Every structure is written in structure tokens, then in C-alpha cells.
């Protein structure tokens, strides 16, 4: 039998084991009609990505579920892949070109795309290799990419289907525009950050009424150039008479109307709101209701577009300063009030985004949202925890049409073609030959590409071969569970749900398991700006992947954020060492023997107790994992291995192992190996590497990851033995408590009396005497029905069905203890006198901080309690 090395060194086993798993194809899932299918699709990380703690948590949770189901006998597919990350990748490639003295526009579209593919080939698999370091058991043979041939075919197919159904259209609506990246961006790519700014209060003169004006307050005075109305609430009595009047728009030669709209909050600001339909999404909707004109006053680079105006061509912020100065000079600036408010910025380049009206491609969402809403309300789709279903519903019930076009070159190019002769738009799989409208033969393809979310919304079925009717699609779809963070429920989860229902007629998954964020030790979100990020690869290098995984899952509850502490990583490493040392202890006692399973009658109560506990644990952990209670399941396995198995059972059987002639030694060895092997299986999904290494050292099997998951067995149900051993454990705990409270030296032995009128109770201690004596540090154990022969000064403790007595003289040297207690009494009296002196000192009370006074009061109370206990002990000794 193999003996593990003396020291557990993760770096020496993890890469070796992972390669072994890969070589043997253990991660690969086949279509097998004899097995039940289980499938998870990996949220595709960006090809620009670097593994961070969010990835580590997300993928650890998926790996736990897939390893669990694989061991249960499912054909378990964890479908991996990466996302082309249009904006992020384009930015990276442009930066690379700039360093080389080259320019995107000079290269042209085709050459630029060649550069993007080259970048993807060189760097795109970096995060995949990092996920492998984490132990991710994804089916890498099936790895996909959102722009591979199959996924691209799916994207084109969906676009055509939605267009033919009338769900995709091209129109002018308000979108998020990034002036630096020069593209529309999705709501998912807009971060709202608090920024210090101002409310500029401005007079809008009433036409025909000298000196009369309305006062508006705005955080963006430069946009007044695009105002087409001022709105008031129809129920606001202050402004009823104003509705229908015209206002002179400051700094322009235009007049705009006062309109009434319930959108306006009378309590906010002045109750009068400037309406700029082309540069605010709410104003856009107001403008549609009142048929207001839409005036775009910004160029794509966020400079002012207002021909004939002195501000034309100015940067938006330069124009703001100039306009405020001119308003003040014209007597139209009432006041400037500091105001902190949330500002939308592009999450990539941190540029403040501009809402702008632009002709773009959109998806109508109203009809597709309905079945997605119904799926949750019917219970067909479930969120864990359930509360996140509300987030899902709130977003869907208020959903707007989805802008899917992006002004980028890297991505899925929109399959729309414009006739050069008449401008007809034709949506088709390939460029048409003849225009059905004018008969022309010259076409140009739409320059825009599709939003990255459009392709990732198809991920659960496009990765399985759809739109082709592949065996994988028929067998693994719908998938089972999606694991993701709460921050992208409405950006990705919702899109997958409505896309799955619309294109396949089925939900893409039945359960969405939501996890929180990994924060730093102070509870802050990890970020580059704060410099508080923790590199998972650094943790793996120092402590191993298992320690990182255990840290991330300890105390983990669905939907809740967690804090990362290095102390937890140390504790996780210590747990791994505990397992390693327990396995070495078993191996060294086994030697070359592999004991056969004994008959139940050959097992001692402590053997049957630990098997009973493991059997119960198996049932509970399986139920926890099936309910996605991963943190709870882990804690139960952790507690069993550390406490029940290592701290109790191993210590219980040591006397039998030390005696080579003990007839029950083989039963103890079989139980040790069997229990640890089964416990390792329960732990394997959480800590795959150490469980594999230790399991293979104890068992002649190929791998723990393809061994069957433990199940509850009636042959390991021993409630009477379990209760008996628990009673003995209670006695040991009480003895240890007594010894600790009396500062008894660890090596000091004492006589122990167990008194009970119940003969069955005494019999249980007789059967456990070999280990009870050792664990209780007993020089001798006496079992009797009454207190005969027990000295009056004996220390006692109560356990169910019995009393424990220990002669005081066996625990301490009475005379020395009297001297020690006398010294301690004097010390405590002195400390109390000192504290009293300070607490009666008026100068101290007047000048000292409140927390220092409170600390002194707390100290005095503690000394008082300690003194009381010392005096009780002295009294008991007759001092």
C-alpha cells in the first residue's frame, strides 16, 4: 500500500492530478440514453479576462454541482466556452496597435479583424488555463467560442427569425453612447457612480410677460440647447396657468412651450423640468407623448453640434462653463447649489456616457417578455434564493425595446444589406444578388455588429449544436441549473430565458442559483481603483486550489456577499493537513493489509457509532446539495471529518491499534479506512485534489471522481450504539471541562467514578472502558451504583443517566493549590482596589474618554467575578 509523504504539498499533486483526469477523459460527457443527463453551461468568461475572485467563486460552485452529479451516475456535462467580448477586445487590440505605431482605421476592417483573431489565438485561452488551475472539471473537448462557426450560425438564424416575425426593426430611439469608444453600449455596461456636481438654477423668461420667468434646476446646463419644452405636473396648482404658454429658451433664439405631464414630480427641484428629448430617456418618452421635436446637440465625440452658436465644436464640459458664464452675464442664473448624484459611466473606459437618439437596430421585447414572466409565476423557473425572482420580474415587467447594434468591427456583423441604388434594406443569410425593390445588383452590408449579449443569450442551446438537431441538443437541453452572480440577472439571465423560450419552446434551465460578491476583509467591493483585489492564482500558488475553494465555500449562502480573509485560507490549509495526517496514521497502521469488511457483530460500539454518524451525514449532505445548500453541506462534512472522525474516533481506536493482539484491531482498521474513504467522497466536490490523492492511497480504484456517490444504507443504522457512545463522549467532555477549569496539567491522571443505578448505563461504560480511560485521563475507572468509597471533596458532573466523580486530591496538590489561590486572591483584591481608585477619581472621570472609563469598569467587573470563583475554591479546600 502507498504511504503518503510526510508533508502535504499542494503544488506537488494538483497539476499532476489534473493532467491525469484530462488524459483519462473523466471530464468528458457522452450522450448515453442509459443514464440521466445533467448539464450546466459555464457563463463564458471574456477572452480578455483574467481570473478574479468572482470567477473563482462562480466556477467552484458549478464544479461542486457537476462533480456531485457525475459521481451520482449522471452523464454530467459542464459545457465551457469563452465570449468574444466585443468592446473589451477591440479596446485591447487598438491599444496593441497604437504601441506598434499602427491605426485601426488605416488598417481597414478586414485587416483589423485579422488582428483581433490573432489576439484571441494568443491570449484568449489564458482564463481557461487559469480555470483549470482551480480544478474546474468542464468538458474541455466541447469548448465553444461565441464567434465560432456554430455559434455564429445560431446568431444569424435567430436574427433572421426575429426579423421575419417583426420583432427586430431599425429605428431612432434613445441609447447609451460612449464618446470615447464611439459606440452604443448596453445598460449592463453602464456603471452608476456618485459624483459631486451642482444644480444650476436658470430663468426661462415667459414670452410676452416682462420680467416673468419660470425657474428650472438642471445638472447639465449644456443640454438646454436641445430643450423643446418645459414640463410641469398637471396637478401642480402653482403652474396651472402656465400650461400652454411659450418660454424664451436662454442663449438661443428659440421659443418652447410649457406642457403638463404626470412624469414631473412637484416635490423635486422647482417643479418645472426642462425637456430634452434627444438626450434623456425619460424626456424622450415625454416628447413622444407630446409630439415634441428631437434636437441632437452633441457630436459622437461629445462636442457641441449647434451650427451658428458660439458653443459649436466645444467639448461638452467646456461648453458648460461658457454657457454658465453667459447665463450669469445675462442675469438668467439664479443660483448654483452643490449636488451629489449618480452619473452613468462606461464600465470599460470610465467615460461619462451620453444618452443620444441614433438610428439603431432594436428588438421588440413586449411579447417575448410574457412567457418569461409566466415561467417564473408558474414555478417552472426557480431562483435560489427565491427573493431574486422579484428582481427578474421587476425588470421584465418594465422592459424596454433592446438596442442590439454596436458601432464596432469585432463581433457578429448584422446580416442586413443596403441596396446602393434605392437604399432598400434586405435581411438575409448572405448578400443578395438582386434588389427585390429596384432590381439593382450592388449592395453594402450593415457596418454595425450585434451586442455581445445577443450571442450569449443563445449560449445554453447554441453551444449544444442548435439550430441543428444534434444528439447533444436533444439529450442535454434544456440544461439544469445556471450559476451566476446577482449583478447580471437582468442583463444575461433574462435574455437567455426569453431567447430559449422563443427559439426552442423550452426554458434554457429550470433553476438559477444566485451567488453574491466576494468582498475584501472590510466588506468593500474588490476593484483596481481601491487596490484591494486578491489574485486567486496567488492564493493557489501559496496554499493550493483546495484551500481557495474551501475558503470561498465556507459559510457561503446563496445570494449573500462574502468577505475574503487570509485567516480563512490558513484554516482551510490546516483542514487539508488534518486529512493528510489522518490518512497517514491509517496507512501506517494498515501496513500491507487491506482488511475485509467484518460482520456487524464484530464491530465495537464506537465503530458502529461512527458508521451511523457517517450514514446520517451522507443522507443530509446529499439532500443539501440537491437543494443547492452548498455552504451547509460543506460545513457538515468539515465538522464530521475534523471532530467526529479525527478528534473522537481516531482517539477512541488508538488503544486497539497499539495492541497487535487485540482481536478487534482488524475491525477498527477496516472502519477507519471505510469511513475516511466515504467521507472523502462527500468532500470531493469541494476539495477535489486532496480527496483524490488520499483516496487513491487508501483504495485500489481508478479515481474518486468516477467512484459512486455514497448513499444511506440500512446496514449502517445503529441508533442504540450511537446513543451509547454519545453518553461516553458527554462524560469525557465533562471531565475535560473540570480539568480545564482547575488548571490540571495535561499529563496528570485521576481516578474516575461513574455512578448510575441503571445497569445498562454502566454496561455502556464497561464496553467503552478502553478508550474512555485514555480520553478521560483516568488512572482507573470505577463503575458503581452508589457513592460508596467516594470522598466528600470529589468534584462532580452530571451526564444523562449518570454522575461523574473525580477525587479532588487526584487533580491537584491541595497545599500548593491553597498557596496559589491565596496569591491569586491577593492579586485580584489589589487590581480591584486600583480600579476603584481610578473610578472614584473625579479628574480621571472628567478627562478620560468614555470608552476608557467603560473599559476600566469592565475590567473591575471581570476581577470581581474571578475573585468570587477563587474564594469559592479556597472555601472548598478549607482555606
- Over residues 162-186, mean pLDDT: 92
666-670, 741-745, 835-839: least confidently modelled range = 741-745
Domain ranges of the chain: 10-157+457-539, 183-355, 565-708, 722-809, 815-876
Max mean pLDDT among 180-184, 191-195, 624-628 falls in 624-628
- Kindly report the CATH class assigned to 722-809: alpha beta
Q: Model-level pTM?
A: 0.87
**Edge-to-edge strands of the sheet including 425-427?**
425-427, 416-419, 443-445
Q: Which residues are annotated as a binding site for ATP?
A: 528
371-380, 500-509, 578-587, 787-796: least confidently modelled range = 787-796
Cell of 736: 475535560
Which of 672, 669, 671 shows the shortest CA–CA distance to 591?
669
The DSSP string of 541-570 is HHH-HHHHHHHHHTT--TT--EE--HHHHH
Give the span between the Cα atoms of 187 and 401, in whole angstroms.
12
Give the span between the Cα atoms of 199 and 219, in whole angstroms.
5
CA angle 775, 780, 785 (to 5 degrees): 100
- Over residues 575-587, mean pLDDT: 97
Length of the chain: 879
Q: Are 143 and 27 spatial neighbours (Cβ–Cβ below 8 Å)?
A: no
- Residues 6+ away with beta carbon under 8 Å from 566: 521
Give the span between the Cα atoms of 106 and 614, in whole angstroms.
69
**Residue pLDDT, tens place only, 698-715:** 999 999 999 999 999 999
- Over residues 747-758, mean pLDDT: 92
What was the pLDDT predicted at 297?
95
- Over residues 607-620, mean pLDDT: 97
Q: Are 320 and 222 spatial neighbours (Cβ–Cβ below 8 Å)?
A: yes
What was the pLDDT predicted at 376?
97
Which of 46, 154, 57, 36 shows the shortest CA–CA distance to 483?
57
**pLDDT surpasses 70 at 217:** yes
CA distances (Å), origin 627, targets 558, 561, 614: 11, 19, 20
Domain 183-355 has CATH 3.90.740.10: yes
Mean model confidence pLDDT for the chain: 93
pLDDT band at 41 (very low <50, low <70, confident <90, very high): very high
Cell of 797: 458532573
Place of cell 448624484: 341
Total H helices, total E strands in the chain: 30, 29
Cell of 720: 442504540
pLDDT band at 1 (very low <50, low <70, confident <90, very high): low
**pLDDT surpasses 80 at 319:** yes
Give the span between the Cα atoms of 428 and 163, in whole angstroms.
10
- List of E strands, 131-243: 144-145, 168-178, 183-185, 190-205, 213-218, 229-232
Host H or E run for residue 153: helix 149-164
- Over residues 751-758, mean pLDDT: 94
**Residue pLDDT, tens place only, 714-749:** 999 999 999 999 999 999 999 998 888 888 888 889
* CATH number for the domain running over 10-157+457-539: 3.40.50.620
Cell of 561: 456577499
380-384, 683-687, 819-823: least confidently modelled range = 819-823
- Looking at per-residue pLDDT, the higher value among 498 and 527 belongs to 498
564-568, 638-642, 794-798: least confidently modelled range = 794-798
**pLDDT surpasses 80 at 878:** no
**Residue pLDDT, tens place only, 466-488:** 999 999 999 999 999 999 998 87
pLDDT band at 808 (very low <50, low <70, confident <90, very high): confident
What was the pLDDT predicted at 879?
59
> What percent of the chain has a predicted confidence (pLDDT) above 70?
99
Q: Do domains 10-157+457-539 and 183-355 have the same CATH topology?
A: no
Cell of 588: 501506517
pLDDT band at 150 (very low <50, low <70, confident <90, very high): very high
Q: Are 793 and 673 spatial neighbours (Cβ–Cβ below 8 Å)?
A: no
> What percent of the chain has a predicted confidence (pLDDT) above 90?
78
Q: Which residues are annotated as a binding site?
A: 528
- List of E strands, 238-392: 246-248, 255-260, 272-275, 333-346, 354-363, 382-384
* CATH number for the domain running over 565-708: 1.10.730.10
- Looking at per-residue pLDDT, the higher value among 792 and 133 belongs to 133
Q: Are 298 and 304 spatial neighbours (Cβ–Cβ below 8 Å)?
A: yes
Which of 163, 165, 182, 174 shows the shortest CA–CA distance to 414?
163
pLDDT band at 852 (very low <50, low <70, confident <90, very high): confident
- Over residues 136-149, mean pLDDT: 97
Q: Are 216 and 250 spatial neighbours (Cβ–Cβ below 8 Å)?
A: no
Q: Are 45 and 83 spatial neighbours (Cβ–Cβ below 8 Å)?
A: yes
**Residue pLDDT, tens place only, 98-137:** 999 999 999 999 999 999 999 999 998 899 999 999 999 9
Amino acid at each position: 500500500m502507498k504511504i503518503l509523504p510526510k508533508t502535504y504539498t499542494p503544488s506537488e499533486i494538483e497539476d499532476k492530478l489534473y493532467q491525469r483526469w484530462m488524459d483519462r477523459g473523466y471530464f468528458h460527457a457522452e450522450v448515453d440514453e442509459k443514464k440521466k443527463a445533467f448539464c450546466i453551461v459555464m457563463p463564458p468568461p471574456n477572452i480578455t479576462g483574467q481570473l478574479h475572485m468572482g470567477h473563482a467563486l462562480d466556477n467552484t460552485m458549478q464544479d461542486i454541482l457537476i462533480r456531485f452529479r457525475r459521481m451520482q451516475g449522471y452523464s454530467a456535462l459542464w459545457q465551457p466556452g469563452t465570449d468574444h467580448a466585443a468592446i473589451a477586445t477591440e479596446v485591447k487590440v487598438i491599444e496593441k496597435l497604437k504601441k506598434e505605431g499602427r491605426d485601426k482605421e488605416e488598417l481597414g476592417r478586414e485587416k483589423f479583424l485579422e488582428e483581433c483573431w490573432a489576439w484571441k489565438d494568443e491570449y484568449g485561452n489564458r482564463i481557461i488555463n487559469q480555470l483549470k488551475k482551480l480544478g474546474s472539471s468542464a468538458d474541455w473537448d466541447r469548448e465553444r467560442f461565441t464567434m465560432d462557426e456554430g455559434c455564429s450560425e445560431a446568431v444569424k438564424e435567430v436574427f433572421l427569425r426575429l426579423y421575419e416575425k417583426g420583432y427586430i426593426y431599425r429605428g431612432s430611439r434613445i441609447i447609451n453612447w460612449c464618446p470615447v469608444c464611439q459606440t452604443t453600449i448596453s445598460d449592463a455596461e453602464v456603471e452608476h457612480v456618485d459624483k459631486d456636481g451642482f444644480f444650476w438654477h436658470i430663468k426661462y423668461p415667459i414670452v410676452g410677460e416682462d420680467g416673468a420667468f419660470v425657474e428650472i434646476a438642471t445638472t447639465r446646463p449644456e443640454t438646454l440647447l436641445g430643450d423643446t419644452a418645459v414640463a410641469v405636473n398637471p396637478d401642480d396648482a402653482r403652474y396651472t396657468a402656465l400650461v400652454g404658454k411659450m418660454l424664451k429658451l436662454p442663449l438661443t433664439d428659440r421659443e418652447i412651450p410649457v406642457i403638463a405631464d404626470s412624469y414631473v414630480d412637484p416635490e423635486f427641484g422647482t417643479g418645472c423640468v426642462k425637456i430634452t428629448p434627444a438626450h434623456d430617456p425619460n424626456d424622450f418618452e415625454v416628447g413622444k407623448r407630446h409630439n415634441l421635436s428631437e434636437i441632437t446637440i452633441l457630436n459622437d465625440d461629445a462636442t457641441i453640434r449647434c451650427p451658428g452658436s458660439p458653443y459649436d465644436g466645444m467639448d461638452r464640459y467646456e461648453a458648460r462653463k461658457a454657457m454658465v458664464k453667459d447665463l450669469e452675464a445675462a442675469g438668467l442664473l439664479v443660483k448654483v447649489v452643490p449636488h451629489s448624484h449618480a452619473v452613468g459611466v462606461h464600465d470599460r473606459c470610465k467615460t461619462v456616457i451620453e444618452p443620444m437618439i441614433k438610428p439603431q437596430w432594436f428588438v421588440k421585447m413586449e411579447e417575448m417578455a410574457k412567457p418569461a414572466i409566466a415561467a417564473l409565476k408558474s414555478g417552472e423557473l426557480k431562483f435560489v434564493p427565491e427573493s431574486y425572482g422579484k428582481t427578474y420580474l421587476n425588470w421584465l415587467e418594465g422592459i424596454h425595446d433592446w438596442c442590439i447594434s454596436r458601432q464596432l468591427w469585432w463581433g457578429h456583423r448584422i446580416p442586413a444589406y443596403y441596396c446602393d441604388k434605392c437604399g432598400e434594406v434586405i435581411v438575409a443569410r448572405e448578400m443578395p444578388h438582386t434588389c427585390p425593390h429596384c432590381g439593382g445588383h450592388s449592395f453594402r452590408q450593415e457596418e454595425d455588429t450585434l451586442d455581445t449579449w445577443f450571442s450569449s443569450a443563445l449560449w445554453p442551446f447554441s453551444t449544444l449544436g442548435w439550430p441543428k438537431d444534434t444528439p447533444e441538443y436533444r439529450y442535454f437541453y434544456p440544461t439544469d441549473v445556471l450559476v451566476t452572480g446577482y449583478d447580471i440577472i437582468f442583463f444575461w439571465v433574462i435574455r437567455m430565458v426569453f431567447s430559449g423560450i422563443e427559439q426552442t419552446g423550452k426554458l434554457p434551465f429550470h433553476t438559477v442559483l444566485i451567488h453574491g460578491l466576494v468582498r475584501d476583509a472590510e466588506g468593500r467591493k474588490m476593484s483596481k481603483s481601491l487596490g484591494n483585489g486578491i489574485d486567486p492564482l496567488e492564493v493557489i500558488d501559496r496554499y493550493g486550489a483546495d484551500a481557495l475553494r474551501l475558503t470561498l465555500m465556507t459559510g457561503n449562502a446563496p445570494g449573500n456577499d462574502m468577505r475574503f480573509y487570509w485567516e480563512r485560507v490558513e484554516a482551510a490549509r490546516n483542514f487539508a493537513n488534518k486529512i493528510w495526517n489522518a490518512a497517514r496514521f491509517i496507512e501506517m497502521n494498515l501496513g500491507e493489509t487491506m482488511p475485509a469488511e467484518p460482520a456487524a457483530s464484530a464491530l465495537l460500539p464506537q465503530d458502529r457509532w461512527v458508521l451511523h454518524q457517517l450514514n446520517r451525514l451522507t443522507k443530509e449532505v446529499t439532500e443539501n446539495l440537491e437543494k443547492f445548500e452548498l455552504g451547509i453541506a460543506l460545513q457538515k462534512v468539515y465538522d464530521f471529518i475534523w471532530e467526529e472522525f479525527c478528534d473522537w474516533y481516531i482517539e477512541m481506536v488508538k488503544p486497539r491499534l497499539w495492541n497487535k493482539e487485540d482481536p478487534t484491531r482488524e475491525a477498527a482498521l477496516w472502519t477507519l479506512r471505510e469511513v475516511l474513504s466515504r467521507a472523502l467522497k462527500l468532500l470531493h466536490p469541494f476539495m477535489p485534489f486532496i480527496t483524490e490523492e488520499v483516496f487513491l492511497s487508501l483504495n485500489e480504484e481508478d479515481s474518486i471522481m468516477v467512484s459512486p456517490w455514497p448513499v444511506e444504507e440500512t446496514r449502517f443504522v445503529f441508533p442504540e450504539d450511537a446513543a451509547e457512545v454519545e453518553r461516553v463522549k458527554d462524560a469525557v467532555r465533562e471531565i475535560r471541562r473540570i480539568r480545564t477549569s482547575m488548571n490540571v496539567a495535561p499529563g496528570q491522571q485521576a481516578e474516575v467514578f461513574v455512578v448510575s443505578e441503571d445497569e445498562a448505563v454502566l454496561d455502556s461504560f464497561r464496553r467503552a472502558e478502553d478508550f474512555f480511560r485514555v480520553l478521560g485521563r483516568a488512572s482507573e475507572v470505577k463503575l458503581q451504583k452508589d457513592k460508596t468509597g467516594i470522598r466528600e471533596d470529589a468534584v462532580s458532573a452530571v451526564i444523562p443517566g449518570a454522575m461523574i466523580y473525580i477525587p479532588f486530591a487526584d487533580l491537584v496538590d491541595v497545599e500548593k493549590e491553597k498557596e496559589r489561590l491565596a496569591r491569586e486572591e491577593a492579586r485580584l483584591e489589589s487590581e480591584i482596589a486600583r480600579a476603584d481608585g481610578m473610578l472614584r477619581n473625579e479628574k480621571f472621570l472628567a478627562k478620560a474618554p468614555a470608552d476608557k472609563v467603560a473599559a476600566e469598569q469592565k475590567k473591575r467587573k471581570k476581577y470581581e467575578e474571578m475573585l468570587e470563583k477563587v474564594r469559592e475554591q479556597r472555601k472548598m479546600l478549607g482555606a
